[in-house]
Structure 1
Amino acid sequence: MTVTQQRKLVTEIPGPRSVELLGRVRRSVARGVGITLPVFVTEAGGGILVDADGNQLIDLGSGIAVVNVGNAAPAVVQAVQEQVARFTHTCFMVTPYQGYLEVCEALNRITPGDHEKRSVLLNSGAEAVENAVKIARAHTKRDAVVVFDHGYHGRTNLTMAMTAKNMPYKDGFGPFAPEVYRVPTSYPYRDGLTGPAAAARSVASIEKYVGASNVACVVIEPIHGEGGFVVPAEGFLPAVAEWCRDNGVVFVADEIQTGFGRTGDLFACTHEGVVPDLITLAKGIAGGLPLAAVTGRAEIMDAPHVSGLGGTYGGNPVACAAALGAIATIETEDLPARARDIGDIMLPALRELAARHPVIGDVRGRGAMIAIELVDESGAPDAVATSAIAKACHAEGMVVLTAGTDGNVLRFLPPLVMPPDLLREAMGLLAKVIDAR
């Protein structure tokens, strides 16, 4: 790692060089592409981003849970360099190559369950979700897709329909794909229900408004990501999965943000022993290169006709090489354990901060997927305070992200390789910002 693991501010955030580059962005990049923190990164590693002005920022975003293994992880860099020198593309559907096969074998091995599995490789999380729906429909010969309040699944037409939050993801982009039905989720801070009670409410909605015999699949994030890192009450996921088994419905775990060690388990489903029929994967799979996958039961994955699955770039050989390097790093360095260590540092610090500041209504998360929900005096979501705190953190040289259906959640996604002292400094900076309000 060439980047020193130290926060350093040499200019205001953003600095003059970043401001200059931002002006070029406004002249060249479509306005619809938003930017959270307009610093232009020139180098990154461990828990630090270096910008064009020489500032070194603490990274609590990981590129939205992508660089779990850290930026420019050595095994990823080496694998990519070797592959790109050999060939960069042939399309697996035209002339296959070993990297694609090896990634599928690895995913079949490491995902939950000891049943026979198959995998397909794709480009993005949204594409993985769309393919999971296609596979489930081919297998069940049914049409309906059930999703949950606060869920996020992507920005394509089908996945926008599946996503709960309107702004900025859906507003003005309809009409959306049909046969998508949304039911209540488990949100312990807001609904106060036990897991089984919340599941019974969800199942009742499905049966009343959709009908079990019409449902091809239920798609759920084990922890809602963009919806605010909502961790369901214990027992909720197992009960929903059991209902799916009893009714011939494909249970799809969207682990695009929760996977690859992020929550302290290799996959978040295993926290309660849930074995999904299909699992969608992306983000942390390839150390920063674009790759996604659907992995699942062989008899379900094999339902579509030959050539019904695929895509020109899906399973690109360079991305596959990166994935093999990332998976090896996760396993050899036991990054799920590192994620649990991160949680052990962050959660007590955040709970102590919440005890002093009523603006923090809830502290939640698992492993290195942690959030605080910010509220006003009445307990209502406070998006204004959330935005102000995030901007103050940015000014202190720390990347934090907002989330939540109401925009009132600060989410923290440090790289799993972040040094503990840097993480403790980050918690101190957050306390400084909130203490100063």
Structure 2
Amino acid sequence: MSPGSMEISGSEAASHRGPPPGGDRSMGRLGRDFVFAFHAAMRVLQLYPLENQAVQRSLVELETVARELANRESGILLRYVGDFCFVNDLRLRIDLTTYATFGAVGRTLRRHGIGRVEADAHPSREEWIALLSLLLAEPSTSDPFGRLQERMFVSSIDRIRVAPEQDAPPQPREHEAREAAHRTYTESVAVARDTMMGVRMGRGVSVRRVKRTLQRIVDQVLNNESSMIGMTALRDYDQYTFAHSVNVCIFSIALGKKLALSKHELYELGLGALMHDLGKMKMPIEVTTKPGALAEAEWDMIREHPTEGLLALLEMSSFGDLPLRGMLIAYEHHMKIDLTGYPRSRRPRDPTLFSRIVSVTDGFDAATTRRSYQTTPNLPDAVLREMSENPARGLDLLLVKAFVSMIGFYPVGSVVILDTFELAVVIAPSTRPDA
């Protein structure tokens, strides 16, 4: 069989095939379908010759979705702002089914310095083929966007235009951002301490104070993410439990932001993350701070802390407006996606997205922090690799990948030794393990 007539197997074709054309679609669904069709056509064009049937089907799907979108909106505008994808000024929701595809398209555009792609009502199939082929080519090292524009002109692409990436909006001065992040962090640790100790001592908890603190954390992560994540590198052995809760909260909100959760959802996620270990306040302190290995009876106690945490949250009447999925974080964050963790589930269930997020962030912070029974913390890059490669962890690997992409193998605030044997502090994330 010649390459030109090669067919893709059923499973492979399904992975390349975009959503079915036609039908009455919402604008959000239509934008999502366009990005999926764009990615599918680009991918099969990279793998197979133009005359291949799978390539032709993908191009038909791209044309169909693009025409419907252009007819409804009088044109097409695809743009990326950071990790967020917009189609005709509508930000598309990122979830576990769209994360990989949206990210792949965004990375391809950024390789060529493209911030936006615009199309008139009816670009021809030849123009789509030409554009996709140019995007698949290796970008120029000196001026990738300028070189791409030249190639588009030569290829007679008239009804599709590209524009360069825009500069990011001005940010607060670095020292001001760090000071604001440090102030929010220290206040949050104090609130976590007072709240958790209040539960341990049976005192009332100021829920209003907790919620105000959560609002500040969410605002800081949205506007000052790198500085807030940098604060998690501040390790206080004496306040481990409280600082750990705040760290997990910060990491979880930042990961939720990367997944394009709404601000309200980030608030719910952050509140549950901050309270995820509340049940440990119901455990004997000599067990939770024991420096050596736990006896089996002590492990049985520890395995009860998710249940105790959920009960403690339910007992707080003023937490009545906390959605169940926020409370479930306390119950599910050690359950594992294959349900081999604890507490054991008596029937099949899927831990919520919020719980799976906190499982990742909790595992990372716990493994990289000095504790009573872990006097030497693990290196972040080793922990991230182990989280990615060890199935016994029971983590959602797509969320682990998103987490690594967010903080880098060497997180902000890490002290590293350069090849020149100089010490340096990481100030921005890198996702390259060999960087």
Hey, which of these two has a bigger chunk of strand by percent? 1
Structure whose residues are more often helix by fraction:
2
Interval containing the TM-score (normalised by the shorter chain): under 0.3
